[in-house]
């Protein structure tokens, strides 16, 4: 059994062939797919898709949150909407939230505020958080630090150093590993070899960041198996061992 802990399966790119995508995921042994929210543009589409949970034996688990790239002058509206959804539906996590200093730093200050307010929501609702930390691993660690022990979660698509990985783990958080692991110049394999798998979960971030041999194409949840196979090579383990450990880790975070 494999879990895709981070997948934008409600993305328009899956409209045309959702059934085939789910069939391939089922054949690849994927049993759970976790759906990170972005903003009000896609919340409804995500919840509509989540109603298909259980089809082909794959359960779908929506999160709620405001993505850092969706933080602009309207951030209060987005936050209010997210809070309303949280009151009216049940979600597996607050995500994806965090900081993105790669695409745009215009709203840097607001991104930090929105991130902190959503960490507080996670504490209030007793939910884990799923963190987007592009070019901002240290800043995200700083935001999370005061909440150590009160909240846990995943640094999704982890792109930091070994030292930063150790800090993530010391705070009780987990490292989300996807297609980037399979890219030629990635140092992720070396980092995970040193940290071990006790705090690692698998993800695709589909439709983005497809693993080798699909690099450059649309990513999909079934490809989490490619990540597991690659990680097995890195760790000198069987794919089944990697699947077992990372599945247990994901269930520890998100609940059974």
CB of 43 to Zn ion, least distance (A): 14
CB of 241 to Zn ion, least distance (A): 27
**CB closer to Zn ion, 10 vs 147:** 10
* Terminal C-alpha separation, the chain: 14
Count of chain residues binding Zn ion (CB under 5 A): 2
Site string for Zn ion, 25-44 (x = CB under 5 A): -----------x--------
**CB closer to Zn ion, 186 vs 239:** 186
CB of 178 to Zn ion, least distance (A): 9
CB of 69 to Zn ion, least distance (A): 10
Torsion region of 67: left, alpha or beta (phi above 0 gives left; psi -120 to 50 gives alpha) = beta
DSSP 179-240: GGGGSTT--HHHHHHHH-STTEEE---BTSSPPTTSTTS---GGGHHHHHHHHHHHHTS-HH
Dist. CA 80–CA 160, nearest whole Å: 31
Binding span for Zn ion by CB under 5 A among 108-116, 170-178, 200-208, 217-225: 200-208
Dist. CA 191–CA 169, nearest whole Å: 12
Binding span for Zn ion by CB under 5 A among 106-114, 158-166, 182-190, 204-212: 204-212
Binding site for Zn ion (CB under 5 A): 36, 205
């Amino acid at each position: 059994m494999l879990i895709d802990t981070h997948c934008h399966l409600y993305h328009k790119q899956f409209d045309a062939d959702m059934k085939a995508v789910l069939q391939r995921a089922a054949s690849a042994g994927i049993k759970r797919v976790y759906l990170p929210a972005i903003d009000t543009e896609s919340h409804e589409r995500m919840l509509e898709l989540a109603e298909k949970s259980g089809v082909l034996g794959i359960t779908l688990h929506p999160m709620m949150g405001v993505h850092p790239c969706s933080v602009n002058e309207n951030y209060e509206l987005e936050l209010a909407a997210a809070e309303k959804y949280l009151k009216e539906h049940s979600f597996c996590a607050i995500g994806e939230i965090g900081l993105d200093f790669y695409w745009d730093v215009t709203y840097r200050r607001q991104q930090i505020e929105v991130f902190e307010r959503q960490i507080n929501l996670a504490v209030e609702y007793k939910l884990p958080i799923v963190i987007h930390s592009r070019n901002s691993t240290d800043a995200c660690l700083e935001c999370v630090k005061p909440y150590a022990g009160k909240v846990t979660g995943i640094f999704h698509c982890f792109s930091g150093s070994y030292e930063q990985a150790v800090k993530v783990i010391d705070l009780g958080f987990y490292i989300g590993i996807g297609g980037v692991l399979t890219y030629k110049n990635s140092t992720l394999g070396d980092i995970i070899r040193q940290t071990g798998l006790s705090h690692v979960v698998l993800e695709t971030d589909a439709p983005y960041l497809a693993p080798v041999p699909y690099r450059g194409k649309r990513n999909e949840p079934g490809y989490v198996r490619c990540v597991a196979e690659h990680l097995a090579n890195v760790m000198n383990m069987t794919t089944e061992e990697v699947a077992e450990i990372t599945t247990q880790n994901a269930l520890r975070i998100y609940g059974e």
